[in-house]
Amino acid sequence: MKKFALALSAISVAIAAGSVRAAEISFAANTTGKNVEFLHNQLAIFEKNTGNHVKLVTMPSSSSEQFSQYRLWLAAGNKDVDVYQTDVIWAPQLADQFVDLKEAAKDVVGQFFPSIIASQTVNGRLVALPLFTDAPALFYRKDLLEKYGKQPPKTWDEMAATAKEIQDKERQAGQKDLWGYVFQGNSYEGLTCNGLEWVKSSGGGQIVEPDGTISINNEKAAAALERAKDWIGTISPPGVLAYQEEESRGVWQTGNAVFMRNWPYAYSLGNGADSAVKGKFDVMTLPVAAVGDKPSSTLGGWNLAVSKYSEQQDAAIALVKFLASKDVQKARAIELSNLPTLTDLYDDKDVAAAQPFMPNWKPIFQDAVPRPSATAKVKYNEVSSKFWTAVHNTLSGSGSAAENLELLEADLTTLKGDAW
Ligand code: GLC
């Protein structure tokens, strides 16, 4: 402690004397859950340690909105943002605008899951350092399932039947606002994740296959979307068509849903002091279409990239390495229940004690289904937005799933052209 204080005062003296130039770094970060609050605390430590100053630029929670803004800034060669928090799917699309971190991260890269590093490596360049990974869960109310003698559901139909029965009985007993199932039905990247899960867990493929084939126009995929359409207004509120992660969590955390599809960040928030479901829920893997089918979670996650246009690249890289370090990832796992990208933290006793689901989540994210971002490369955002539009149209009753998927296939074929 004493040594640390001495080192700090030495830095302050050096800064005051002008021998070390303190950098001003600007960092664009996502606002989902308590990310910003957590970052403020961590940035204070970084600032103390380095004498640098970090300005936090808060971005919308929606991955899609954040992407649109980043794309504009980067296309304009914006020098005002040095570090970007980036979604796992963006690496191939934004690679050229980010600094190659390979050399700078060579001392730590071996501590990360190789597959996650691979997802951020484009043409041999490491374009972002993984901050946390993501794979969704089916959150379920243990207390309500027990009350009605129900088992956690294995299939989508079982989930819907249990949701309906508990919803109806609880409403009769006075819980007027209770819904069976909340998820992310808004027109944005989150619906691509939900839709991919429904389709893939029904044997309907993964929209565009790793070999580039457009596979989405098939009967199993259409049946999966029709199944989800039947939930709207029966077990899911009509408003779910406008929900993103935070809206679903709002309904869930006030005790108004039996089941929720969400990412692990909702686990620690759901167990927070102000949560109506604290201690009343558990998480499991998402359902499948039929027993024996493979569970399919979409692979998510967030990373840190340094802008090619930054005039503070060394300080920006130091910030990225700090935020992705073991100490900070451990604190992030314990406080925010975000899944670490460092292998060791899955054997960490403190992490397991704070987030009992986490050791079990390692095989789940390792087995998760990637969205076709590496396949569609710079066209991924368009593929995704065409897919979520087809899904949203189906859910809102504008065209049948079969019609919408046929149109989608035609659109994707045009978009693909000769090759992705
Ligand atoms: C989560 C995932 C991210 C995904 C987003 C969709 O934040 O980590 O990969 O794109 O949800 O809403």
Query: What does the pLDDT read at residue 329?
Result: 98
Pocket test for ligand 1, best of 193, 261, 332 (most atoms within 8 A of CB): 193
Distance from the CA of 57 to the center of ligand 1, in angstroms? 19
Nearest CA to ligand 1 atom 6: 190
Residue of the nearest CA to atom 1 in ligand 1? 300
**Per-residue pLDDT, 1:** 47
Residues enclosing ligand 1, CB less than 6 A?
A: 63, 87-88, 134, 189-190, 193, 245, 263, 300-302
For ligand 1, atom 9, name the residue with the nearest CA: 300
Domain boundaries, the chain: 2-134+300-366, 136-298+372-420
Spacing, Cα 134 to ligand 1 middle (Å): 7
Rounded distance, CA 117 to CA 115, Å? 5
Point out the ligand 1 atom lying closest to the alpha carbon of residue 300: 9
Q: Among 238, 214, 388, 177, which residue's Cα sits nearest to residue 298? A: 388
Fold topology of 2-134+300-366? D-Maltodextrin-Binding Protein; domain 2 (3.40.190)
- Asked whether the whole model's pTM tops 0.85, one would answer yes
Q: Which atom of ligand 1 is nearest to the CA of 299?
A: 9
- Residue 300 Cα to ligand 1 midpoint, Å, equals 5
Q: What is the pLDDT along the chain (420 residues), one digit of tens a residue?
A: 455 555 555 555 555 545 557 899 999 999 999 999 999 999 999 999 999 999 999 999 999 999 999 999 999 999 999 999 999 999 999 999 999 999 999 999 999 999 999 999 999 999 999 999 999 999 999 999 999 999 999 999 999 999 999 999 999 999 999 999 999 999 999 999 999 999 999 999 999 999 999 999 999 999 999 999 999 999 999 999 999 999 999 999 999 999 999 999 999 999 999 999 999 999 999 999 999 888 899 999 999 999 999 999 999 999 999 999 999 999 999 999 999 999 999 999 999 999 999 999 999 999 999 999 999 999 999 999 999 999 999 999 999 999 999 999 999 999 999 999
Fold match, 2-134+300-366 / 136-298+372-420: yes
Confidence (pLDDT) at 7: 55
> What type of residue sits at position 286?
L
CATH number of the domain at 136-298+372-420, out of 2.70.98.10, 1.10.287.3510, 1.10.3720.10, 3.40.190.10? 3.40.190.10
- Ligand 1 atom at minimal distance to the Cα of residue 298: 9
Question: What pLDDT, on the 0 to 100 scale, is given for residue 292?
Answer: 87
Shortest-distance Cα residue to atom 12 of ligand 1: 190
Q: Measured in angstroms, how far is the CA atom of residue 325 from the centroid of ligand 1?
A: 21
Question: Six-digit token pair at 106?
Answer: 């060579």
- In this structure, the strands spanning 53-59 and 24-30 are parallel
Strand partners, 306: 83
Write a three-state SS string for the chain.
CHHHHHHHHHHHHHHHCCCCCCCEEEEEEECCCCHHHHHHHHHHHHHHHHCCEEEEEEECCCHHHHHHHHHHHHHCCCCCCCEEEEEHHHHHHHHHHECCCCCCCCCCHHHECHHHHHHCEECCEECCEEEEEECCEEEEEHHHHHHCCCCCCCEHHHHHHHHHHHHHHHHHCCCCCCEEEECCCCCCHHHHHHHHHHHHCCCCCCCECCCCCECCCCHHHHHHHHHHHHHECCCECHHHHHCCHHHHHHHHHCCCEEEEEECCHHHHHHCCCCCCCCCCEEEECCCECCCCCCCCCECEEEEEEEECCCCCHHHHHHHHHHHCCHHHHHHHHHHHCCECCEHHHHHCHHHHHHCCCHHHHHHHHHCCECCCHHHHHHHHHHHHHHHHHHHHHHHCCCCCHHHHHHHHHHHHHHHHCCCC
